[in-house]
Structure 1
Amino acid sequence: MLGPIFFFGISILLISYLILYPVVEYFRDPKGLRKYPNLNTFSGLTNLSFIYEAHQGFRSKKLLQAHQNAPVIRIGPNSLSYGDPKAIKDIYGHGTPCDKDRFYSVLAGSHYHLADVIDKPDHARKRKILSSAYALKNLEGWEHKVADKCERLVRAFDTRCTGPPGGSEEKLISSDDLTVDYRAWTNFFTIDAIADIGLSERLGFLDAGNDSCMAERMDGTLYTVPSYRASLHATARAQSNLVWGYDWYPMLVKLSKIFSRRFREYWRLNEGWNDIVWHRTCKRLRRYQAGEPLDDFFASLMENKSGHMNMMEFGEIMAEVSIMMNAGSDTTALAMNNVMFLLLKNPRCMAKLREELDAVLDPEDVVAPYDKIRYLPYLRACLDEALRIYPPTTFGLPRRTPPDGATIMNDYVAGDTTVSISAYVAHRNPSLFPDPESFQPERWLGEKGKELQPYFISFSAGARGCIGRNISYLEQSVVLSTVIHRYELALLSVDWEPARWESFNLMSGPMPVKLWKRTFESEKLVTS
């Protein structure tokens, strides 16, 4: 008899918690959020609605469509999305009263890293420690590491070159000639580069042509993870699908492991990622403890330039290594892939960029020297325009209004409300970016380009903006200049498109290209 009564009681509690309470709160509307349009039918009632959108694969595109009709959209019972770039300053700018949202603490491990720390004094402490590592002046010291990886990329590409397309003006490409997956190889580059810059470790992905990687369990067991990228991306896919129900996230993780074969595989690969980070951190710590003098990111974590210890706990050090190996590789690789894709789709822009590069680079420059290219305006314009159209991190980085509320775009928003603006949405505002879907690097040139910078948030904005943007621009500039100067490239066809899906980043599938060496005028004269 007690069994049915217990089951009935639990059922009533669940119905009350999942249905009755949300409906009552929706109509009670204590924060005045019901005036904003909903992203979908249930957005005002439950966060499960945004989890549903995340499972569709490209939630920011759905947001873009919704923001065509309204500047503010309600994406959850306590969450607002903004579509007007004028909200950037109020949400992310220097002096904003908004803090990082609970989103970051839900995903944080035992220790916060710079990207997910919420407490402002703790963030200031971390940023002070890390700013010296990421400072612009350090780029000169690390440029040789980037050049070394770019030389290895060139070596790999040279062995995979084919002959020029034959015959007709259409230059038909055979699928057999698609010898380079540009997406994979640029990712090998960024992982190798950040491992060297950050940990003075040579992973050797560019030499091997794959991302098989050593990992270590906490008991000291060493084993090989077949794919660094697969482990990293699986982690992001699992978390980005489930995190939006903050209070329910631990339960959703457990349920996903029970009821979804796909998610069980994601979480299995996630263990590989954790062990990759553990091994990298332990290995580099042993070198530090042995007194090996190395100038890298890890050294800056351990002590400042005066040699004084920063006194960071091991868990905190490992958290910083994790975000460095994650964000420091994947977002830059996506940017590299996207700018090449857009240039191949826009031959006029490719020709203009190549002309700018040829004017400063010599035929014998195997790797583009950074001092020759760092101030080229059209090169930077191409990078920024690609970052505008396909920002690597597309989702709205969530912030939370202070307890007494905040004013956003002259509109009062109640306290402890989640607010955000997606870079994918902001960068498609036609009043700022006319014809927003077209690739127009020229929009970033001159005074007009400077006026657009406050609305460019591929690296976020304000005090919490990406600390690694200088390294990213260095790597992007050197690789793009080297490849464009040395090679010709072609997609399978003019209408080919890569597969894209959104986790936290806007991911891209393989991009197979045909690659062949350029012939310079001086070489033509010698052979004629």
Structure 2
Amino acid sequence: MADFSGPIASTFGGIDLTSWQGIGRLALGATILYLIRLCFVAVYNLYFHPLRHIPGPPLWIALGGLRSIYKMRGILEFKYVEFHEKYGEVVRVNADEVAFIRPEAWKDIYGHGHAEFPKHFPGLKLDTKKIVFSSSKDHFRYRRAMLPAFSDKALRLQEPLIRVYIDLLIKRLREMSELGKPINMVRWYNFTTFDLIADLAYGTPLQGLAEGKSNAWLDNIGNIIKLLPIMAFASVFPMVGTALQFLAGPQIRNAEKKHYSFASQMTMDRIYNKKQPDRGDFMDFMLRSRGQDHEMKDDELASNADLIMLAGSETTATLLSGVTYWLLKTPHALKKATEEVRATFKSDDEITFDDTRAKLTYMMACLQEALRIFPPLPLGMLRIVPDGPPVQIAGVTIPPKTQVSVPQLAAFHSERNYHRPTEFIPERWLPESTLDPKSPFFNDRRDIHKPFSVGRRDCIGQNLAMHEMRSILAKVLWNFDLKLDESSNNWHNQKILALWVKPPLQVHIKQRAT
């Protein structure tokens, strides 16, 4: 067999590339070339890039990938808070990404009146049958089919179904209160919202409240959340990301497949189960699109029912956990909200969607403040500026193909937008604070507060979510006296892996004296 090592060696100045010395020199040369390229990219990003006029952290701008490392560690959104504090309302947080915390950026990025900015999900494999990932054409069709499920008419039909689970939560909390031990409220809120949404989406509760234990759905979602930072890292460093996914173990790697199989089967059971016609749930309304231009096919119904499950349960439970914690950390607010609920209703049977919305002004201010200080989706929802001429976003010229967002945690925690932003102060949302120039909160920029987003892709289920949160919180406050356990004193110090990574929220609950 011919020996090719000689010619190869002569080509590289007599170095035998098949020897360890040759391999080492080749690796060194490749490393040097990589570092030279890295330097050229860094210089370009800092001094010649079209976004060079926007301030930001130099190291993050020069070197791509730092964003993903901090995301994987669960502290990216907190870095954004720091950056906006240091560099201002418009910050270049990466070579081709700009974050805004000015109120007008919501309309300019996500609102109507201009060409839609495409969504951007780095590192994620997208199911385009889900409304949040769909094309503009499919999004319009999906939204038209799904909106009737969240209309005022639908909410009135759904209220008796929802009350079943809220009342069951209160029953289980009464039973738990008799044990004399602190209760993990995150767990019970999760059981409630997942059972509730599963019944509305599939006609099948998950029995979390009934059995007081987790289920395959909750376990799979937990595994998927663990994979999210690895996926983000893999988008920048594919080889390392693949290795991390392998090390994560088959249970986590296969979570997404298992989850979709489970969700799809539940959807098919609901669609073709003739025992529950016209019950007024989500699927009932969405199935009415059959035979029309905006009809949703079986696989599209499965994907979107799955999305509704996560978006309509995890986020609601997160907010309920957050408002409970912050009320318990703020005694005057807890006292005022509890007194308002108990003075308004003679029994918890009187607590309805309409009455909680119309009569509980202070409790609603507590929920608004919780949505600000502990937003269930604390991220910036990335969009890409479309091809074409530069656009104006919040008064700043931004070139095409730039990633842009309003990072909610940074926007809601900025002193530029709120007075004393790191404190839980429901009073900032009361009418007197918005109308009285002498109020310390009069100049708060409340129009930055868009926890459900804005525009054609805002949260389709926000009215239902608010009804749930008002009713559940009102019933808990009406029935129980609450006290935070010392083990949860710093519960708000959490990581963010797309969603908050919530530890147990241990609360002592006692049935109210009658």
TM-score normalized with structure 1 length:
0.83
Structure 1 letter corresponding to 2:245? K
Specify the alignment match of 1:321 in structure 2.
305
Q: Is the 8 A contact 1:346 1:439 kept in 2?
A: yes
Q: Deviations over 1:39-74 (max 9, x none)?
A: 46244332x211111122221111101111113333
Cα offset for 1:98?
4.9
Q: 3-state DSSP class of the match of 1:359?
A: helix
* 1:72 is aligned to 2:75: no
Do the aligned residues in 2 keep the contact of 1:332 with 1:472 (CA within 8 Å)? yes
From 134, 137, 149, the counterpart of 1:133:
149
Deviation, 1:34, is 3.1
The DSSP-based 3-state class of the residue aligned with 1:467 is coil
Does the 8 A contact of 2:118 with 2:386 survive in 1? no
Q: Residue in 2 aligned with 1:311?
A: 295
2:430 is equivalent to residue 412 of structure 1: no
Q: CA, structure 1 residues 88+13, in 2 after alignment: closer, same or farther (shift >3 Å)?
A: farther
1:486 is aligned to: 479
1:234 to 217, 220, 223: 223
Native 8 Å contact 1:43 1:49 kept in 2? no
Whole-angstrom CA distance in 2 between matches of 1:198 and 1:72? 40
Tell me how far 1:203 sits from its aligned partner. 1.8
Q: For residue 318 of structure 1, what is the amino acid of its counterpart?
A: A
Over 3 Å counting, the alpha-carbon distance change for 1:414 and 1:151 in structure 2 is same
Q: For the Cα contact (< 8 Å) 2:56–2:91, is it kept in 1? A: yes
Counterpart of 2:113 in 1: which secondary structure? coil
Unaligned runs of 5+ in 1: 163-175, 213-224, 521-528
Residue 493 to residue 435, structure 1, CA distance change in 2 (3 Å): same
Query: How far apart are residue 236 of structure 1 and its match?
Result: 2.3
Q: Which residue pairs with 1:355 in the alignment?
A: 339
SS in 2 for 1:412: strand
Residue of structure 2 in register with 1:28 after alignment: 44
Contact 2:141-2:295 at 8 Å conserved across structures: no
Tell me the amino acid that sits aligned with residue 146 of structure 2: L
For 1:221, the equivalent position in structure 2 comes to: none
Q: Are the equivalent residues in 2 in contact too, given 1:302–1:310 (CA < 8 A)?
A: no
TM superposition shift of 1:209:
0.3
**Aligned residue in 1 for 2:440:** none
C-alpha spacing 1:73/1:9, structure 2 compared with 1 (3 Å): farther
Q: Contact conserved, 1:488 with 1:518, CA < 8 A, in 2?
A: yes
Change in 2 beyond 3 A, CA 1:505/1:257: closer
1:192-231, aligned counterparts within 5 Å? Answer: 192-212=195-215, 225=216, 228-231=217-220
Deviations 1:76-124 (A, max 9, x none): 3322222334422222222244513331794312x3311122x323222
The counterpart of 1:331, out of the listed 315, 323, 332, is: 315
Output aligned runs, 1:124-163, within 5 Å.
Answer: 124-162=140-178
Identity %: 23
User: Is the Cα–Cα contact under 8 Å of residues 101 and 400 in structure 1 kept in the other structure?
Assistant: yes
Corresponding residue to 1:475 among 468, 471, 475: 468
* C-alpha RMSD over aligned residues: 3.0
Preserved CA contact (<8 Å) 1:85 1:455: yes
1:4 positional shift:
4.6
- SS across alignment from 2:344: coil
Q: Secondary structure at the match of 1:393?
A: coil
Cα distance in 1 for partners of 2:78, 2:503 equals 17
In 2: Cα distance, 1:17 partner to 1:402 partner: 34
User: Alignment partner for residue 100 of structure 1, among 113, 118, 121?
Assistant: 118
Q: 1:256 is matched with which residue?
A: 244
Superposed CA deviations along residues 122-178 of structure 1, whole A, max 9, x for unmatched, are: 22222111111112332111111111001110111111114xxxxxxxxxxxxx843
> Equivalent of 2:413, from 406, 412, 428?
428
Q: Secondary structure at the match of 2:470?
A: helix
The CA deviation string for residues 376-400 of structure 1, in whole angstroms up to 9 with x for no partner, is 2212111110010000111110011
Which deviates further from its counterpart, 98-107 or 351-360? 98-107
Compute the displacement of 1:257 (Å): 2.3
Is 1:273 the counterpart of 2:273? The answer is no
Contact 1:384 1:444 in 2 (8 A): yes
Give the stretch that moved more between structures: 3-12 or 148-157.
Answer: 3-12
Give the Cα–Cα distance (whole angstroms) in 2 for the partners of residues 495 and 126 of structure 1.
41
Q: Would you say 1:44 and 2:62 are equivalent positions?
A: yes
Q: 1:150 to 1:360 in 2, by over 3 A?
A: same
Amino acid at match of 1:81: A
> For 2:382, which of 385, 398, 404 is the aligned residue?
398
Tell me the alpha carbon deviations over residues 165-223 of structure 1, each in whole angstroms, 9 at most, x when there is no partner.
Answer: xxxxxxxxxxx8434210000010000111112222122210100122xxxxxxxxxxx
Distance 1:141 1:292, change over 3 A: closer
What's the counterpart of residue 166 of structure 1? none
Between the aligned partners of 1:9 and 1:314, the Cα distance in structure 2 is: 58
How many residues align structurally? 484
Is the Cα–Cα contact under 8 Å of residues 31 and 414 in structure 1 kept in the other structure? Answer: no
Find the aligned partners of 1:154 and 1:324 in 2 and give their Cα distance: 24
Corresponding residue of 2:193: 190
- The answer as to 2:352 corresponding to 1:369 is yes
Contact 2:384 2:401 (8 Å CA) reproduced: yes
Please state how far the C-alpha of 1:432 moved relative to its aligned partner: 2.8
Whole-Å Cα distance in 1 between the matches of residues 379 and 244 of structure 2?
22
Q: Which runs of 5+ in 2 are unaligned?
A: 9-15, 436-443
